[in-house]
Structure 1
Amino acid sequence: MTDPAFLYQQAHAALSGYPLRDARPTLVSISENVIFRVDTTGGERYALRLHRPGYHTAPEICSELAWLDALHASGLEVPLPVPGHDGQCLRTLPGDNGMTRHAVMFAWMDGNEPTPDIDPAAFARLGHITARLHDHSRHWTRPDGFVRKAWVPATMTGPHALWGQWDSVPGMTGAGRDLIAHCLRQVDAQLADYGTPPHRFGLIHADLRLANLLVSGTHTRVIDFDDCGLSWFMQDLAAALSFHEDHPHVPRWVDHWLRGYATSGPLTQADLDILPALVIQRRIQLLAWTGTHHDTQQVHSLGPDWSDRTLGLCQAWMQGRLLRHIG
């Protein structure tokens, strides 16, 4: 339910669980989750996240928060969960139709969301930050009960896809279905060969795209770990290109990201070789997402040719022309 009056009611219910005086919520965005900015008379500012009902379980959200706490303790600039009166960071609210909604509050982080015209040097900083995230992931001992979704072919573009089925997107033709199906068979085969050893596959952000960055001067901060989960580490680069995979600056973005990553993390030829498969799989996952969100302003902003451009990217990948100059 996205009725603003109801959402404000839920925001106030969530805020009652925190030791704040005169907390004033302001609706910032309604997307997968609902975000409120919270201001207090003392000048403090927070971000309140109301989770979409039925997507993440309470243990999954608590696992995300455990990783954020550990990342923050290691010195990375990530959202910091704020505990309530009871010392817990997760609030559970009664919703409509018997469904509950989870809520979490974070310390506010300043910065601006970059646009596709971002200085490519910001991608170098993002690559460096991502390498630090991955290094932490590889060495961090996850607490008992830690559980997050796995982002693999079955859950991204296969029968158990969590963002919808790509072959049900409005306007999909038989030729388009055949092209994507053939593309995904080859992607799946390449990923099976690449494998899931711990140096290649682990806990990642999984949605490190432009919309989930805050840029302030020379600082690039990572936000929105809502989709963090288990996948290939190089999936975070594929996600960084989300919705802009055919932008003319992509080769420069990728080059700078890889340079930044290499300053703090290892990269092998196999990691570079698998990138095109991960990028096209992500694009097809996003195509499925547009089908389940086809009435939203975000999907309308992609333009009427976005699906056709996706098929063009699939053709380019099949012909070995997608990111062919990387490395």
Structure 2
Amino acid sequence: MDNLAREAAASWGLSDAQITLAARRENVVYRVEGPDATYALRLHRPGYRCAAELTSELDWMAALAAGGVSVPAPIATSDGGWTVEVGGHVVDLLQWMEGASLGAAGELQGITDRSGFCRILGQEVARMHDISDGWARPEGFSRPAWDRVGLLGEAPIWGRFWEHPDLSAQERALLEDARDQADIALTGVGDADYGLIHADILAENMLWDGRRLTFIDFDDGGFGYRDFELATFLLRYVEAPDYPALRAALIEGYAGRRVVNEAELDLFLLLRALTYPGWIMARLGEPGAKARSERAVRVALGQAREWMERYGRAA
């Protein structure tokens, strides 16, 4: 993989740069220290996104960066494109962003005022949505859709969550019932405040330097409901003692520019929770997957019971 990274770096005139592995997650990321700047070289995992989707992701990130949102701006190759293909991997180069990672999902490392941070986060997410809505997307723009089909259809983006192998018959019935009831509720939401979303705003996908919040990893970004964006962040804290304060602060920050419907936010907390058992199913053989799977199932069942008791038929 290191040899592929160096081969790809040549397309940006960086074959002699210092290249070191920075992260091995869904994509493999290298830190590239050039003569004048530092960059992130990403080797995308094969088969997850097509070329049009990756180009669209980079076009969108470039627009956000130009609009003042702190995101890694893509760097064009010497031929003027965003990507190259090396060894079966699509590769791109991004501006290296400074700041400390906020840790793994569910953590906010280094944050002493968690509510204050959530207020800032809400403001920045709203600004990202505003800029996305005002941006004229280029012809051929293509990203996944976190819509009714993508969330609740027969082939959801992250998998058929109701078929998780660790579900009991009763638990599977609960998720199937919640799926049916949520589909009815989502029909009532319509297309209100629907547009481009990051779709994966978790602690590990944000950097913080004490004053500037940076969003990274737009791998799952696409079209979706804006309350789904907020729910993605909040879901990781539903079991935290300060969850009510974090939720209130996030909504306060976001509502300074955009409207938040509390009942719809509860619906999207359920919908986001349902995605994770599907996501982990394809990764059950990976290290640490057992604990992540147990949490995904526990939270999904908890959200399903809570939502059904409040908005649907009692489970």
TM-score (norm 2): 0.90
Q: How does 1:72-221 map to 2 (within 5 A)?
A: 72-95=65-88, 101-115=89-103, 116-117=107-108, 118=111, 119-197=114-192, 200-221=193-214
Instruction: Tell me, in whole angstroms, the C-alpha distance in 1 between the residues paired with 2:77 and 2:272.
Output: 36
Counterpart among 10, 14, 25 of residue 19 in structure 2 = 25
One-letter identity of the residue aligned with 2:95: A
Q: Is contact 1:148-1:229 (8 Å) kept?
A: yes
1:40-93 per-position Cα deviation (integer Å, ceiling 9, x unaligned): 3x3632111111111111111111111111111111111110111112111112
Show the counterpart of 1:98: none
Per-residue deviation, 1:242: 4.6
Q: Is contact 2:280-2:292 (8 Å) kept?
A: no
Q: Is contact 2:11-2:84 (8 Å) kept?
A: yes
Shift of the 286–63 alpha-carbon distance from structure 1 to 2, 3 Å rule, reads: same
Matched, 1:299 2:289: yes
Show the counterpart of 1:277: 267
1:10-52 per-position Cα deviation (integer Å, ceiling 9, x unaligned): 2122112112252222222222211111223x36321111111
Show the counterpart of 2:298: 308
Q: Is contact 1:243-1:286 (8 Å) kept?
A: no
Instruction: Tell me, in whole angstroms, the C-alpha distance in 1 between the residues paired with 2:24 and 2:238.
Output: 25
Per-residue deviation, 1:234: 1.4
Give SS of 2:186's match.
helix
Shift of the 298–155 alpha-carbon distance from structure 1 to 2, 3 Å rule, reads: farther
Show the counterpart of 1:222: 215
Instruction: Tell me, in whole angstroms, the C-alpha distance in 2 between the residues paired with 1:215 and 1:136.
Output: 21
Per-residue deviation, 1:303: 7.2
One-letter identity of the residue aligned with 1:65: L
Q: Is contact 1:209-1:242 (8 Å) kept?
A: no
Instruction: Tell me, in whole angstroms, the C-alpha distance in 2 between the residues paired with 1:30 and 1:244.
Output: 25
Per-residue deviation, 1:298: 5.0
Number of corresponding residues: 304
More divergent stretch after superposition (133-142 vs 160-169): 160-169
Instruction: Tell me, in whole angstroms, the C-alpha distance in 1 between the residues paired with 2:187 and 2:296.
Output: 29
Instruction: Tell me, in whole angstroms, the C-alpha distance in 1 between the residues paired with 2:49 and 2:27.
Output: 11
Shift of the 130–306 alpha-carbon distance from structure 1 to 2, 3 Å rule, reads: closer
Q: Is contact 2:5-2:43 (8 Å) kept?
A: yes
Instruction: Tell me, in whole angstroms, the C-alpha distance in 1 between the residues paired with 2:51 and 2:299.
Output: 38
Counterpart among 302, 310, 313 of residue 320 in structure 1 = 310
Instruction: Tell me, in whole angstroms, the C-alpha distance in 2 between the residues paired with 1:286 and 1:194.
Output: 22
Give SS of 2:90's match.
strand
Q: What is the aligned-residue identity percentage?
A: 32
Per-residue deviation, 1:267: 0.9
Q: How does 1:55-70 map to 2 (within 5 A)?
A: 55-70=48-63
* Alignment gaps of 5+ in structure 2: none
Instruction: Tell me, in whole angstroms, the C-alpha distance in 1 between the residues paired with 2:238 and 2:148.
Output: 19
Give SS of 1:36's match.
strand
TM-score (norm 1): 0.87
Instruction: Tell me, in whole angstroms, the C-alpha distance in 2 between the residues paired with 1:145 and 1:188.
Output: 29
Instruction: Tell me, in whole angstroms, the C-alpha distance in 2 between the residues paired with 1:84 and 1:66.
Output: 14
Per-residue deviation, 1:8: 1.3
One-letter identity of the residue aligned with 1:220: L
Give SS of 1:54's match.
coil
Shift of the 284–303 alpha-carbon distance from structure 1 to 2, 3 Å rule, reads: closer
Q: Is contact 2:23-2:29 (8 Å) kept?
A: yes
RMSD across aligned positions (CA): 2.0
* Alignment gaps of 5+ in structure 1: 1-6, 96-100, 322-327
1:270-326 per-position Cα deviation (integer Å, ceiling 9, x unaligned): x222011111111110111111112233534537455234312221121229xxxxx
Instruction: Tell me, in whole angstroms, the C-alpha distance in 1 between the residues paired with 2:235 and 2:289.
Output: 13
Q: Is contact 2:64-2:132 (8 Å) kept?
A: no
One-letter identity of the residue aligned with 1:162: I
Instruction: Tell me, in whole angstroms, the C-alpha distance in 2 between the residues paired with 1:297 and 1:259.
Output: 38
Give SS of 1:234's match.
helix
